[in-house]
Structure 1
Amino acid sequence: MSDPLRPRASLRTAVVWEVLKDALDRRVKATGRDTGGVLEVLDTGGGSGKFAVPVARLGHRVTVVDPSPNALFALERRAAEAGVADRVRGVQGDTHGLFDVVERGAYDAVLCHGVLEYVDDPAEGVRSVVEALRPSGTLSLLAAGQGGAVLARALAGHFAEAKQVLTDPTGHWGAGDPVPRRFTADQLSALVTGAGLEVGAVHGVRVFADLVPGVLLDAEPGAMDALLQLEAVAAELPAFHSVATQLHVLAERG
């Protein structure tokens, strides 16, 4: 897989990047507008630009909304280093007040990655980002998976915490859990359809990557590429959605 991100980091992002890149390519072909192949993309909670900058390198214009000034500063630096500063704009804000900083219905694609875990009302959060889409826009939604956390806590020997994740409606394992909320594939799909979009595909992300010791990847020639290929195949299979660290939903209007 060709990934503009660092090799080790690509284990965590490669599946989403390939799906997103293909979706943007399809959106370019489907727009029918004389835009020169340039899309308007909104990245909510986009932080330092690990997806925004690669999207801009494809030639698209990207607006990143994030509450952290430090993250936006890092975004500006990363965009400049990649030579796409003119195509990346960072604004401070969050999904709750999204339309205080961006326009409704102005974007061909919206990325909502790692956001729903932290909002008080996930359904409202999804409705908000959907309202930013143009009538035929595409949503890329990425959130923490409940089943992956159950597996990770159990393999670490924290069996009570694993049970807590499994039985807690929010998928939270306790006071020390840094992630307030996790989802199943069905829950994420329901949020998307409830906001008026059609689910195009669901992918399991980081099915194996978080469980494989780094020493194995360093010791075995070709192990990184082999694991990337394994992740790509497993991501497509619903059986692995229940043990993925993250879940990715790609959806469209109509």
Structure 2
Amino acid sequence: MSDPMRPPVSSQPQPAPQRAEPLRPRAALRTAVVWDVLQDALDRRAKATGSDTLDVLDTGGGSGNFAVPVARLGHRVTVVDPSPNALFALERRAAEAGVADRVRGVQGDISGLFDVVEHAAFDAVLCHGVLEYVEEPAEGVRHAVDALRDGGVLSLLAAGLGGAVLARALAGHFKEARQALDDPAGRWGEGDPVPRRFTAEQLSGLVADAGVAVGAVHGVRVFADLVPGVLVDTEPGALQELLKLEAAAAELPAFHAVATQLHVLGEKRTTEGA
């Protein structure tokens, strides 16, 4: 009997997996650090399982910014997202990339995750830009972890508190910067579009409490949101040098406190080690 949680496998010859999907300049600044780390983690998981094809869950994956490139690596990806429009865009994007047979979109959210996917069915779970918007972040992390097989990879990306404080201060909004610093949710005011922000310690704690061994914490967009866009777009070589700077600073704890986003990479402990 076929597995209903996996996309149908085409009988036609498949294109060879590719190492990466070319990134547009702005997209590169937003995702390069996470993408590089994620590719390496998927490679390690593939070696550990002895399989070149992994089952990957992207919860809140939207139109496939990560799901489609992951599928291009040869993996099967299930995207769970509450937006029908985003899932439609995902379907179109996957078709254009030639990976429609490896990408499956399902309407849902992390709070009701197991209404649409199975427990312990995935080698990797991406939870990017989700915890900021759920009522119970700890529950969201637990659900993401419960979807993992033992030894599976968790990639968690969320808004960082320090980056928001710094951005408001540099814009001259000092009262809002102070409010974000003091607010338990890290919000700078009623007009703040982000419901919640985190410190690196808070995110690492949520992950560890859910049974995941934290492997690395990365600061994302440490400098990118502070550099004038015209400089990146017009100065020869500026983008590549900025990408190198972001990569160099990403794992340094001193820069986590000013990053716009924080990325936590972890591995689910085996039952014996839990």
Query: CA offset at residue 136 of structure 1?
Result: 1.2
Please, which runs of 5 or more residues in structure 2 have no aligned partner?
1-18, 270-274
- Percent identity (aligned): 80
1:28 aligns to 2:46 (yes or no): yes
Q: Deviations over 1:22-46 (max 9, x none)?
A: 00000000113xx4x1000000000
Q: Is contact 1:171-1:181 (8 Å) kept?
A: yes
Query: CA offset at residue 242 of structure 1?
Result: 0.1
Q: Is contact 1:5-1:50 (8 Å) kept?
A: no
Structure with higher Rg: it is: 2
Q: 2:78 aligns with which of 63, 82, 92?
A: 63
1:120 aligns to 2:138 (yes or no): no
> What are the residue-to-residue correspondences of 1:212-223 with 2, within 5 Å?
212-223=227-238
Query: CA offset at residue 218 of structure 1?
Result: 2.2
1:242 aligns to 2:244 (yes or no): no
Query: CA offset at residue 193 of structure 1?
Result: 0.5
CA distance in 2, matches of 1:87, 1:120: 31
Counterpart in the other structure of 2:247: 232
Q: Is contact 2:20-2:69 (8 Å) kept?
A: no
Query: CA offset at residue 140 of structure 1?
Result: 0.1
TM-score, normalising length: structure 2: 0.90
Letter in 2 for 1:176: G
1:138 aligns to 2:153 (yes or no): yes
Q: Is contact 2:128-2:155 (8 Å) kept?
A: yes
CA distance in 1, matches of 2:20, 2:146: 32
1:13 aligns to 2:44 (yes or no): no
CA distance in 1, matches of 2:251, 2:110: 29
1:180 aligns to 2:195 (yes or no): yes
Q: Is contact 1:16-1:205 (8 Å) kept?
A: yes
CA distance in 1, matches of 2:258, 2:69: 28
Letter in 2 for 1:11: L
Q: Is contact 1:4-1:54 (8 Å) kept?
A: no
> What are the residue-to-residue correspondences of 1:37-76 with 2, within 5 Å?
37-76=52-91
Secondary structure at 2:127 match in 1:
strand
CA distance in 2, matches of 1:72, 1:19: 25
Q: Deviations over 1:207-243 (max 9, x none)?
A: 0111111111122100000000000001011000000
Q: Deviations over 1:142-185 (max 9, x none)?
A: 00000000000000111111001101111011110000000000
Query: CA offset at residue 5 of structure 1?
Result: 2.4
Letter in 1 for 2:248: V
Q: Which moved further from structure 2: 215-224 or 20-29? A: 215-224
CA distance in 2, matches of 1:207, 1:191: 22
Counterpart in the other structure of 1:158: 173
Query: CA offset at residue 2 of structure 1?
Result: 6.0
1:191 aligns to 2:206 (yes or no): yes
Number of residue equivalences: 251
Secondary structure at 1:123 match in 2:
helix
TM-score, normalising length: structure 1: 0.97
Letter in 1 for 2:22: P
Secondary structure at 1:244 match in 2:
coil
Letter in 1 for 2:38: L
